[in-house]
Structure 1
Amino acid sequence: MTDLAIPQRSGNRAAFLGNLLLFLSLALLALNLRNLLPVDTWIETLVGFDPANLSQLMARDVLMPRFVMSLLCGGALGLAGLVFQQVLRNPLAEPGTLGVFGGAKCALAIAILWAPGALALGWDVVAFGGGMIATLVVLLLASRQGFSPLSVILAGLILSLCLNALGSMLMLVHFEALSDLYNWEAGSLVQNNWRGVQELLPRLGFVLVATVLMIRPLTLLDLEAGNARSVGLSLATVRTLAIVIAVVASGFVAGTVGVIGFIGLAGPAIARHAGARRFRDRLWAGPLVSAGLLAFTDQGLVLVSGGMEIPAGAVTAVVGAPLLIWLMRTIRSSQRMPQSSGSTAARQSRDDLTVFWIVVTLAALAVAIAVALAVGRLPQGWHIALGDEFGDLTPWRLPRVTAALASGGMLAIAGMLMQRMTGNGLASPEMLGISSGAAIILLLVTFLLPPLDRITMMGLSSLGAGLVLVMVLWLSRRSGFSPEHLLLTGVALSTVLGSTLTFLLFIGDVRVLRVLNWLSGSTYSVTATDATAICLLAAVSLVLVPFLARWLAILPLGAATSTSLGLSLGRSRLILLLATAVLTGTTTLIVGPLSFVGLMAPHMARLLGVRRPIAQTYVAATIGALLMVLADWIGRTVAFPWQIPAGLIATMLGGAYFVALSFRR
């Protein structure tokens, strides 16, 4: 179990902080009103305004309902986050980290495409249904590990990535039909009248009443399970009802204004750090801080935007990422992933088994390559290309297959290097945000610089990956690279990428469609030159792996042991960092930042019983290549004539793999 190390203080400080944020947001509202109307006309505008006066109309029916909506949404998300944290005893639980928003997004997309009648019930009802299903899946997966904080957040992260991948698939195939969903995903608080407030207020009032009625049982959850049962508390019933309340609150908000991330995490966390130790204190202070924080952020955006609409959801995600990293540094790590890579001599003695699996995986890869090159779909159905037809299709299919193969192998090698370097089985370019760091650099280059050649782009992408990797490891050094710290740093960085992309989609820049397709992990635009370059880099990385054998065997044993064995930690880690950055940056440029290949392939190699560092790296690289080749072929054929990017397919396969692995454990 984890908990926050907080000094004993009075809960009044937290309430004072919430009131201060409300006062500051009111001050910003006054400044925005003054920009529209003279101060002496404010009362007239509120009591009996002239509809023909545009400034009065904007103040009363746009600015004022927007302010009230920000208070309602912020308070509701703060309440939802507080209840989630109390039930799960996890200070990092909130609607975003538990997959509620991902489930809501997919539910809305499916309803728009195939069940438009469901939208008659309201977007908030559909969003609640999707969020509830996603939350139940997360809790079901985490129950296998006793709802430990790491298992809950990991399950939520994996499910969110899978749901977002599914949502992106639907958006790419049905872009025009789902265009409204882009605006919803940005989390805009813009209002044109008081209708949204009038609809949301009674629903959130019901949530508040239900929460107040459950104050006592929720407070008793602070006790140990045995003590809570001794006073007659039904833990299962209380937790179920509380989770439903939290999902209802966040679902209503998401359905009304869209995704607003981290507000549900920020309010309760700030209140707790300000001294609200008791649940009753946090129940008042947490939503109050969240409401004030969202209102302050939104009114600040109105003040500085100069007429340009900036969605509050995207901004809160960017602001919330540093907050999550700061919170992570205050958490005492409860567990450390087994350092399976630091294996004993007995576990490294299965040479015959290793050779067997190397042969099997290489054979499977050869079959997958043959299928990807020869088998496809035509309007008439499935078709196998043979003879001259195979030769005609090879120039079109071979670059894609080669790029997918090399990218999968390089991601797997990067994942192995990171897991060995940190002794953490959760480390991978995707999970730690390294791919997202490379993607952010490429996003900035795309929008700020003229078109660049591929070699320059590869160099910039590698630079971005390297900088992010150094930052992640620096932030996690005090915890000994614990899973919680590494994982949550990656969540924060991935959130920054997602919010940046959402903002670009919101403003409607035409270049964002090309970026969206690339971020999805498509090999569609890969040329023969690109394929040759990435294939050469993959070959070089495979050749250089044996020279790293000693480092890969010793580093997982820890800094003290490595130093005692004569290993230079600084030099070895620097070289591994550079290698990981180059591998990740290059593959991100070719197939995007998505997919679980860098995490999944090393795990699968260990499950096969391959333990020696070099053999495990080669088997993982072969599995990674196999997974990406299959993902590219499936994406090319499963929705013919549309093409699903390989990165999205790989993400779905990776999510399914970890769901199965969780149930197995």
Structure 2
Amino acid sequence: MLGAASALLAVVVALVAVVSWHLTQGTTAVGAGDLLDVVLGRAPGSTVDVLVDSRLPRMLAGLVVGVALGVAGAVFQSLARNALASPDTLAVNAGAVAAVTTVAAFGISVPFVGNTFVAFGGALLAAGLVLLLAGGGSASTTRLILAGSALALALDAVGTAMLLLFDQETTGLFAWGRGTLSQTGLDGVESMGPIVAVTVLATLLLARRLDLLGLGDDAASSLGVPVLATRVLGTVLAVLLCACAVNLAGPIGFVGLAAPALVRLAARVVPSVSRHLVLLPMAGLVGAVLVLLTDAVVRAVLGAEQSLRVPTGVSTTMVGAVALVVLARQARDAGPTRRPASARPGALHGRLRFGVVVAVLVVLAATAAVVGLLAGYSWFLVGDVANWLQGDAVPKIRLGLDERAPRVVAALLAGAALALAGTTTQAVCRNPLAEPSILGVTGGAAAGAVIVVTTVGSPSSAQIALAAAVGAIVAMVLVYAVTWRGGLDPDRLVLVGIGVAAFGGALCALLLVYSDPFNTPALYTWLSGSTYGRSWGQVVPVAVALVVTVPLALLLHRELDLLALDDETPRLVGIRLERLRIVALAVAALLAATAVAAVGTVAFVGLVAPHAARALVAGRHLRVLPVAMLLGMVLLSVADTVGRVAIVPAELPAGLVVAVVGAPYFLWLLYRSRA
């Protein structure tokens, strides 16, 4: 234990150094010498006031949050026996934020400590659902992260909808929802600090059980460990720590992943650190170091005034996303889910079924388009549309349809593009639960588009589409390059993609902070997946992308069939596997980029449409591709129409409507594939 004591002492020394530096960062000139004067009792009252009223609350908040998340992450990883489990990848933080935001949106007044229990309820529900769907401690890495990522997307959609619909009731929650250490005094720390301290002590009482649980459920049970009770109690304690952290500072991303991961790396040098009696407090201390160091670095680099605009949670998410990518690159996974349906011979009834399905979907897509033109704040008639097409509509109807037509077409084409991108992505990953948004392609496209929008005065549609394409391609190349280790492992591709997606999301949030405040609501709505204010110029890029990629995808349908089977079969028939994968991913990136440029970031269309298509017409890509595109068109068009008419005169972004439908479908697929 001497080595463990030395390691703990080293972390404590590092924490003291970081705390001292953190206290010197601020808008007022108070440096290290002034801190020494305070310690020695020689400082003037003004210096003491600055420390007590401003810097000390921020530092203590970072300390409490870091300890809470570090310990919680270590407990989650031990319970799941998974190095990538954390409050973020298990959707725990997302559940807490969604619960607090929803309560505030409905005007329910809750005291500060009461908010902790609101956050605890949401976080506990999210954690339990993810572990149930993924298979608990027996879950593979990819299953666990996929379940958490999907649920987090859905919960983020709920939170975003609350912020958009109840902007008055949720005033101030946008900045808190990004994670901030800013405090108005010591009240928050005084309320949460004792709860965190008691909960950490309670987790230490589970240290021996957690040590034995690492041997496996059967071995732990034979040694007298109540496995189920330990899992339930450990989960409750970890979730409570996360709820305290979220209530105090909002979601501080990925600290619960990076802190215990660093401690486990240290265990390779000092094996005694791996014992939970040492690992848990050390993870908490490292978490505090990460939070405070990140905050201090941002303030030192950007300056005190500018750093106030950067949420701490965004900074830690960017750092933690890199850690997730590094850990994912090292991860080994046996394969999380059932493969996409294999190609089956095209029997006569199969061809007939395909024809009937296509005919029905064409009618549904046309109907969705017509209803999309008719529906809105003012409803039009079919005759009005006919007159508009002939150029004989009255001015009011002409203006209304001129505004609706581009957004209806944008929804139809973007839905087709996302569905085609999802189909090719699932073939490459051999995973029916993969899609461009989870692989980071959509996040890269969104980041590229937001960079142009926030840096160029009035960018054209072509500039936005080009920037989105560059961002998507950069993300795709990065994911592919990092994943490659003498070959492409599909599971690793998914995990790395999730890390890149998290980084892209944090980058978008950071750019939003620095954007023109008058443009922020519009950008935020667009990032939620909105067709509002679309023009024909924004529709053209996605139309061109479909014209280019659809024939290519259909031409490669046999290769995609073989790629969805395994790595050996394509090689046996002479297919250059890696070149095919690069082409397929490039097609997905181009389609996702143009879809993002047209309608913003929309998740789950690329998941739901291909899977539903395989359920309708089996697994041959010659049939799946057109059916998936038609389903994508119908899904996004209907979501756009529902978003326009559900709460008139206000509107819900189509991306939020799709998430409400797509996330439960995704989770059902994951639950069904547990066997």
**Do both proteins adopt the same fold according to a TM-score greater than 0.5, normalized to the shorter chain?**
yes
- Alignment match, 2:216: 224
Matches within 5 A, 1:217-366: 217-275=209-267, 276-308=273-305, 309=308, 310-335=310-335, 337-340=337-340, 342-343=342-343, 345=345, 350-366=350-366
User: Residue in 2 aligned with 1:5?
Assistant: none
Q: Indicate which of 462, 477, 487 corresponds to 2:484.
A: 477
2:509 matched residue in structure 1: 502
2:630 corresponds to 1:655: no
Q: Partners in 2 of 1:607 and 1:219 — Cα distance?
A: 44
- What do residues 24-71 of structure 1 show as CA deviations (whole Å, max 9, x unaligned)? 4145247549951572673446758654x2x33212332233223222
| C-alpha contact 1:128 1:255 (8 A) present in aligned 2 | no
d(CA) in 2 for partners of 1:562, 1:280: 50
5 Å-filtered alignment, 1:307-456, equals 307-308=304-305, 309=308, 310-335=310-335, 337-340=337-340, 342-343=342-343, 345=345, 350-376=350-376, 385-388=381-384, 391=388, 392=397, 394-456=401-463
Q: Does 1:605 align with 2:597?
A: no
* Displacement after TM superposition at 1:506 (Å): 4.8
SS in structure 2 at match of 1:608 = helix
2:52 to 48, 60, 83: 60
Q: 643-652 or 550-559, which moves further after superposition?
A: 550-559
User: 1:480/1:627 Cα in 2 relative to 1: closer, same or farther (>3 Å)?
Assistant: farther
Change (3 A) 1:145 1:269: closer
1:89 paired with 2:78, answer no
Could you report, residue by residue, the CA deviation over 1:280-336 in whole angstroms, capped at 9, with x for unpaired residues? 331232212112222222233333332221332111111111111001111111225
**Using the alignment, how far apart are the partners of 1:180 and 1:565 within structure 2?**
60
Match of 1:542 among 539, 546, 550: 550
Note if contact 1:424-1:481 (Cα within 8 Å) is conserved in structure 2. Answer: no
Structure 1 residues 301 and 457, CA gap change in structure 2 (3 angstroms)? closer
Distance 1:554 1:147 in 2: 28
Summarize the Cα distance change of 1:456–1:42 in structure 2 as closer, same or farther, 3 Å threshold: same
Counterpart of 1:108 in structure 2 is: 100
More displaced 10-residue stretch of structure 1: 310-319 or 272-281: 272-281
Q: How many residues align?
A: 651
Determine if contact 2:67/2:288 at 8 Å carries over to the other structure: yes
Q: CA deviation at 1:631?
A: 0.7
Q: Normalising to structure 1: TM-score of the pair?
A: 0.90
Deviations 1:210-269 (A, max 9, x none): 112222322221232223223333222111111110010010011011110111111111
Contact 1:426–1:483 (8 Å) recurs in 2:
no
Contact 2:314 2:506 in 1 (8 A): yes
Q: Deviations over 1:525-567 (max 9, x none)?
A: 1123433553354344334433223432333344543333222
Cα separation, partners in 2 of 1:327 and 1:13, compared to 1, 3 Å: farther
1:4 aligned residue: none
Query: Structure 1 residue 658: deviation in Å?
Result: 1.7
* Cα root mean square deviation, aligned: 2.8
Residue-by-residue CA offset, 1:638-661 (whole Å, 9 max, x unaligned)? 111111111111122111212333
Distance 1:562 1:349, change over 3 A: farther
Which deviates further from its counterpart, 285-294 or 266-275?
285-294
Aligned-partner Cα distance in 2 for 1:149–1:192: 40
- Unaligned segments of structure 2, at least 5 residues: 268-272, 389-396
Q: Tell me the equivalent position of 1:564.
A: 572
Q: Match for 1:463 among 466, 470, 473?
A: 470
Q: Contact 1:21–1:296 at 8 Å: present in 2 too?
A: no
Distance in 2 (CA, whole Å) between partners of 1:30 and 1:534 is 51
Displacement of 1:354 after TM fit? 2.4
Query: Mean Cα displacement is larger for which, 65-74 or 37-46?
Result: 37-46
Judge conservation of contact 1:430–1:599 (CA < 8 Å) in 2. no
- Could you tell me whether the CA contact under 8 Å between 2:424 and 2:588 is conserved in 1? yes
Corresponding residue SS for 2:564: helix
TM superposition shift of 1:11: 4.7
Using the alignment, how far apart are the partners of 1:22 and 1:590 within structure 2? 47
Q: Please say if residues 140 and 335 of structure 2, whose CA atoms lie closer than 8 Å, have aligned partners that are also in contact.
A: no
Post-superposition offset of 1:377: 5.5
CA contact (8 A) 2:415 2:635 kept: yes
1:108-151 per-residue CA deviation (whole Å, 9 max, x = no partner) reads 22221214223464432322222122222222322499544333
| Contact 2:375 2:645 (C-alpha < 8 Å) held by counterparts | no
Q: 1:348 to 1:477 in 2, by over 3 A?
A: farther
Q: Which digits, 9 at most, give the CA deviation of each residue in 1:450-506, with x for residues without a partner? A: 322212321221121112112212222338544542232232222223323434555
Which piece of structure 1 moves more, 321-330 or 652-661? 652-661
SS at match of 1:424: coil
Q: Is the 8 A contact 1:25 1:295 kept in 2?
A: yes
Secondary structure of 2:485 counterpart: helix
Report the Cα distance in structure 2 between the residues aligned to 1:304 and 1:407, rounded to whole angstroms.
40
Cα distance in 2 between the residues matched to 1:41 and 1:652 = 51
- The alpha-carbon distance between structure 1 residues 388 and 433, as it changes in their structure 2 partners (threshold 3 A), is same
Aligned residue in 1 for 2:166: 174
Residue 440 of structure 1 contacts residue 497 of structure 1 at CA under 8 Å; is this kept in 2? yes
After superposition, the Cα gap between the structure-2 partners of 1:626 and 1:496, relative to the gap in structure 1 and judged at 3 Å, is same
8 Å CA contact 1:336–1:483 kept in 2: the answer is no
Q: 8 Å contact 2:133–2:667 — kept in the other structure?
A: yes
Q: Which residue of 1 aligns with 2:651?
A: 643
Partner SS, residue 478 of structure 1: coil
Relative to structure 1, is the Cα distance of residues 224 and 303 closer, same or farther in structure 2, using a 3 angstrom cutoff? same
Letter of the 2:638 partner, please give it: L
1:488 maps to 495
CA distance in 2, matches of 1:347, 1:473: 37
1:592-631 matches, cutoff 5 A: 592-631=600-639
Q: Is 1:400–1:526's contact at 8 Å kept on the other side of the alignment?
A: yes
**Alignment correspondent of 2:151:** 159
Range that drifts further, 177-186 or 388-397: 388-397
- Distance of aligned partners of 1:546 and 1:295 in 2 relative to their CA distance in 1, 3 Å threshold: closer
1:161, CA displacement in angstroms?
A: 0.2
Q: TM-score, normalised by structure 2?
A: 0.89
Unaligned 5+ segments in structure 1 are 1-8
The one of 11, 21, 29 equivalent to 1:28 is 21
SS at match of 2:90: coil
Alignment partner of 2:91 out of 77, 81, 99: 99
Amino acid in structure 2 at the alignment position of 1:498: G
Which SS does the other structure have where 1:359 is aligned? helix
Moved more, 268-277 or 29-38: 29-38
Give, in whole Å, the separation in 1 of the partners of 2:100 and 2:41: 38
